[in-house]
């Protein structure tokens, strides 16, 4: 992403319903389906400005890398984790077989070589290590948001499973999320494309709307650890190093 996109993200990631809801869903999912052991070594690949570091640090000792210098400085300033410079797929600044859990949270869609990126992150995992990954779903939802954030693609369940297996990862869980809000998001994006007036997904909604959307999104934390939902705005993958 460009520095302006990082700055917009950093300004709202502590409050915006999407970031808040996703963290609540992931926190429940990690506790229920990953159950990290004491002393778990965790890597975040592409940590941005550090909005997920506190979440991950709840489960273990976190290291991270990020290519964009200003975002990296913001992440380091949080004082939660070791932050290094690096980029996927060929500039991973940590040795192989070093981590029990690696997280790529809406990162893979930014990388030209997604298969190479997954192989590079998989190489950092210790035997039996897990990868936790989220990506945006469905090409028909492509919008101004994707262009602004320099996305290369959106995924389906089948396409994500295919690239994960090709990278030597065995899916343990693969399903959609942000399902309850899917009809609203799809309608807004499709209407925007039809009318030529696409909105700004990065903007912080009015407080009442932000709170409501966040609560609806976060409610999925009670569903996702138990079931693999059949559709949604995003995809969630938990995979094991084969």
| Secondary structure (DSSP) of 27-66 | HHHIIIII-PPTT-EEEEES-TTSTTHHHHHTTSEEEEEE
CATH number of the domain bearing residue 178: 3.40.50.150
Q: Which domain holds residue 90?
A: 3-241
pLDDT at 22: 98
Q: What is the CA radius of gyration of the chain?
A: 17
Q: How far apart are CA 34 and CA 30, in angstroms?
A: 5
pLDDT at 225: 95
Q: How far apart are CA 36 and CA 146, in angstroms?
A: 32
Token readout for 3 is: 């520095």
8 Å CB contact between 168 and 122: yes
pLDDT at 152: 97
pLDDT at 145: 87
pLDDT at 5: 66
Q: How far apart are CA 7 and CA 5, in angstroms?
A: 5
8 Å CB contact between 27 and 221: yes
Q: How far apart are CA 235 and CA 166, in angstroms?
A: 18
List, run by run, the mean pLDDT of 10-residue segments along the chain (242 residues). 65 91 98 93 97 97 97 95 96 96 98 98 96 98 91 98 97 98 94 78 89 98 96 98 86
Domain count for the chain, please give it.
1
Q: How far apart are CA 105 and CA 84, in angstroms?
A: 17
Token readout for 217 is: 């999104």
């Amino acid at each position: 992403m460009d520095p302006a996109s990082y700055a917009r993200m950093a300004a709202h990631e502590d409050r915006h319903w999407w970031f808040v809801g996703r963290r609540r869903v992931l926190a429940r999912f990690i506790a229920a389906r990953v159950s990290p052991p004491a002393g778990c070594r965790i890597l975040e690949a592409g940590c941005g400005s550090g909005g997920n570091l506190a979440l991950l640090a709840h489960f273990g000792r976190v290291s991270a890398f990020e290519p964009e210098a200003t975002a990296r400085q913001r992440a380091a300033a949080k004082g939660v984790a070791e932050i290094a410079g690096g980029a996927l797929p060929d500039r991973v600044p940590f040795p192989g077989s070093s981590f029990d859990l690696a997280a790529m949270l809406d990162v893979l869609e930014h990388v030209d070589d997604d298969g190479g990126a997954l192989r590079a992150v998989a190489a950092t995992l210790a035997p039996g290590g897990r990868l936790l990954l989220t990506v945006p779903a469905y090409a028909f939802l492509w919008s101004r948001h994707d262009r602004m954030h320099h996305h290369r693609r959106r995924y389906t369940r089948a396409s994500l499973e295919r690239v994960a297996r090709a990278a030597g990862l065995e899916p343990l869980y693969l399903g959609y999320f942000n399902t309850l809000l899917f009809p609203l998001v799809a309608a807004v994006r499709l209407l925007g494309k039809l009318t030529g007036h696409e909105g700004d997904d990065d903007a912080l909604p009015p407080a009442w709307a932000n709170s409501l959307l966040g609560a609806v999104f976060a409610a999925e934390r009670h569903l996702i650890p138990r079931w693999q939902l059949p559709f949604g705005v995003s995809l969630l993958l938990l995979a094991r190093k084969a």
